[in-house]
Amino acid sequence: MTNTIADVEQADTIIVIGSNTTENHPVLSSFVKRAALKGTTLIVIDPRKITLTKHANKWLRQEPGSDIALINAIMHVIIKEDLHDKDFIADRTENFKEFCKTIEKYTPEYASKIAKIKVEDIIETARLYAKAEKGAILYCMGITQHTTGTDNVKSLANLAMLCGNLGIEGGGVNPLRGQNNVQGACDMGGLPNVFTAYQSVGDDNARATYEQNWNITDLSFKPGIPVTEMINMAAKGEIKSLYIIGENPLVSDPDLNHAEKAFKNLDFLIVQDIFLTETAQIADVVLPAHCFAEKDGTFSNTERRVQRVRKAVEAPGDSKADWEILCGISSRMGYEMNYENSEEIFTELAQVTPSYKGINWGRIEKIGIHWPCPDINHPGTPILHTKAFTRGKGLFHAIDHAPPKEMPDKEYPFILTTGRLLYHYHTGTMTMKTEGLNTLAKECFVEISKNDAKKLKCKDGAKVNIASRRGEITANLQVSSKAFDGTVFIPFHFSKAAANRLTNAELDPTAKIPEFKVCAVKITSCE
């Protein structure tokens, strides 16, 4: 997030797009709902009539995969009605003119046909956002999990820059990170192209710093392969071994039938986890790890706040902390890694991570600090880009709409969009161990509109077969007012009816994120 969670309540207008906030970030959603209760204008843009729409002033229902057309049209109206922030654009940004040329053709009428949203709703949304003194944008995987995911995000950044809503309290472009430490995993260089703090592996200075600090030579300057491509390379035999930590790709990956073949093609699969997950079951070696309640360390949350994790209970059996296991293997392979404790590791990482340099465990004993925090006296940075952007001037990207890679047709007439439920978490490895959560969300279902159920001649609860070009599953229909005609929703948590047997593994060319939010399926009754 460019801004903080608390900051959401300071906004005059909030746009929530592609985020089912009440189910996926429940506590953060209460900040949004409280803001709406106190008079903030809330606009929810989502293909489903999610719970948050009950608190919203407006709900715009866009056709899945039409976000760029919609956002461009909103910006078209803002420019046409002269509501843009000219000072901000002149002082802080570049490429505005080029950008305007692209926006020109995205009239509300044109976008209305693509996004299937009324012209007047597009115009009103543009005015509500542009006229707000402080406008915040919140988004999540409804924006990113498309083959145009990167462009979707850039479009939102364009919109925020157009109205000068960056670098101010109550504004910002705020991605809501899904997993407890997905921010930290990225910050720590758990990515193929960067070291910690997003220092490129191709940067000679960065490599030199690391080589010196780690007392080695020959760090590779060649960017590695993203997870979604590693799977394809495993299938082709180009990746021989995978070491998977705390992850269950055999439920969470797109096009599971393909992923399964790829994993089975590996020479050697290592899985380090707290349970014998679907993925661990096919491993050659399984290494038992500690869970969050059994170790000390830090997580970095969605607002870039580095916070302490503390040991509350002793871990079961012979399991070990993830770092201890890795250090053991490293030492056995001839590179000694010995640390007294997790804090010692933090001290080392802070030295080579500019944005964490000023943080130590003592400073975050009571309350976490937002990075960047470059030195020990720095208070941290709750709001990013207050004076300049990382690259200096903010760049307007001229972006055109492109449809999803697989659209419904005669054979596969429904759009399938996948997501999560309040009561479960990712592949359910943890939440499905709490009986109460299973009672509240027992099994997979297909959320469908009343009209579509009628067309299929199926009643609520009917058992159906759902098939895509890649696979099929069986689940019960759930007729719901959340669903819109033509689009069905399936939660992906449940391995017995894994929605990812159906999803499309087509990737966004830059972020390599799969198009989980749109693929074509057909539904037939099993009864």
Partner 1 sequence: MGNTNSITINDNIFTFSSDDTILNVAQRNNIDIPSLCHLKNTKPTGTCDICVVEIQGSPDLVNACATQASAGMKVYTESLKVINSRKNTIKSMLYSGNHNCAIRDFDADDWTEFQLKVIKDDKTDDLCPVWGDCELQNLAYKYQVSIKHEPLSECKYDMERVNPFIIRDFSRCILCGRCVKACREIQVNNAIDFGYADGDTKIIAGNDVALKDSDCVFCGECVQACPVGALVTEKTFTKQRYTTLGKVRTTCSYCGVGCQMDVFTQNNKIVEIKGADDELAPNNSSLCVKGRFGFDFVASPERLTTPLIRKNGTLKEATWDEAIELVASKLTSIKNEFGSDSLGVLTSARITNEENYIAQKFTRAVLKTNNIDHCARL
Interacting residues with partner 1 between 464 and 503 (CB under 8 A)? none
Q: Nearer to partner 1 by C-beta: 151 or 452?
A: 151
Residue 55 contacts partner 1 per CB under 8 A: yes
Residue 527 contacts partner 1 per CB under 8 A: no
Smallest distance from partner 1 to CB 412, Å: 23
**Integer Rg of the chain from CA:** 24
What distance in Å separates the CA atoms of residue 42 and residue 32, rounded to the nearest whole number?
8
Which residues of 391-503 form beta strands (DSSP E)?
394-395, 414-419, 445-448, 463-467, 472-479, 487-491
Q: CB-hemisphere CA count at 13 Å for 419?
A: 27
Q: Nearer to partner 1 by C-beta: 253 or 452?
A: 253
Give the residue, chosen from 10, 107, 193, 209, that forms a contact with partner 1 under the rule CB under 8 A.
193
Residue 178 contacts partner 1 per CB under 8 A: yes
Q: Which residues ranging from 242 to 281 are in contact with partner 1 (CB under 8 A)?
A: 242-247, 249, 252-254, 267-268, 270, 273-276, 280-281
Give the residue, chosen from 60, 137, 161, 306, that forms a contact with partner 1 under the rule CB under 8 A.
306
Amino acid symbol at 321: A
- Using CB under 8 A as the binding criterion, the count of chain residues that bind partner 1 stands at 149
Residue 241 contacts partner 1 per CB under 8 A: yes
DSSP class of 409: -
The DSSP result for 40-85, as a single string, is -EEEEE-SS--GGGGG-SEEE-PPTT-HHHHHHHHHHHHHHTT-S-
Q: Nearer to partner 1 by C-beta: 85 or 273?
A: 273
Smallest distance from partner 1 to CB 385, Å: 20
Q: Nearer to partner 1 by C-beta: 30 or 57?
A: 30
Residue 323 contacts partner 1 per CB under 8 A: yes
| Token pair in block for residue 286 | 């399984």
Q: Judge contact between 8 and 2, C-beta under 8 A.
A: no
Residue 208 contacts partner 1 per CB under 8 A: no
Q: Nearer to partner 1 by C-beta: 100 or 291?
A: 291
Residue 509 contacts partner 1 per CB under 8 A: no
Smallest distance from partner 1 to CB 81, Å: 33
User: Residue 393 in 3-state DSSP?
Assistant: coil
The DSSP result for 213-276, as a single string, is HHT------S----HHHHHHHHHTTS--EEEEES--HHHHSSSHHHHHHHHHT-SEEEEEESS-
Residue 313 contacts partner 1 per CB under 8 A: yes
DSSP class of 315: P
Residue 327 contacts partner 1 per CB under 8 A: yes
Q: Which stretch binds partner 1 (CB under 8 A): 59-67, 106-114, 216-224, 453-461?
A: 216-224
Residue 53 backbone zone (phi > 0: left; psi -120 to 50: alpha; other: beta): alpha
Q: Which stretch binds partner 1 (CB under 8 A): 40-48, 76-84, 430-438, 453-461?
A: 430-438
Instruction: Tell me phi and psi for residue 469, to 5 degrees.
Output: -70, -10
Q: Which residues pair with 419 in a beta bridge?
A: 491
Q: Nearer to partner 1 by C-beta: 60 or 230?
A: 230
Smallest distance from partner 1 to CB 430, Å: 4
Residue 461 contacts partner 1 per CB under 8 A: no
Smallest distance from partner 1 to CB 240, Å: 4
Most distant pair of Cα atoms in the chain: their distance = 68
Q: Which stretch binds partner 1 (CB under 8 A): 72-80, 165-173, 219-227, 409-417?
A: 219-227
Smallest distance from partner 1 to CB 465, Å: 25
Smallest distance from partner 1 to CB 137, Å: 17
CA geometry: angle at 356 spanning 351 and 361, to 5°?
90
How many angstroms separate the Cα of 231 from the Cα of each of 48, 226, 321, 500?
A: 31, 9, 27, 14
Q: Which residues ranging from 1 to 30 are in contact with partner 1 (CB under 8 A)?
A: 4-6, 22, 24-28, 30
CB atoms within 10 A of CB 33: 19
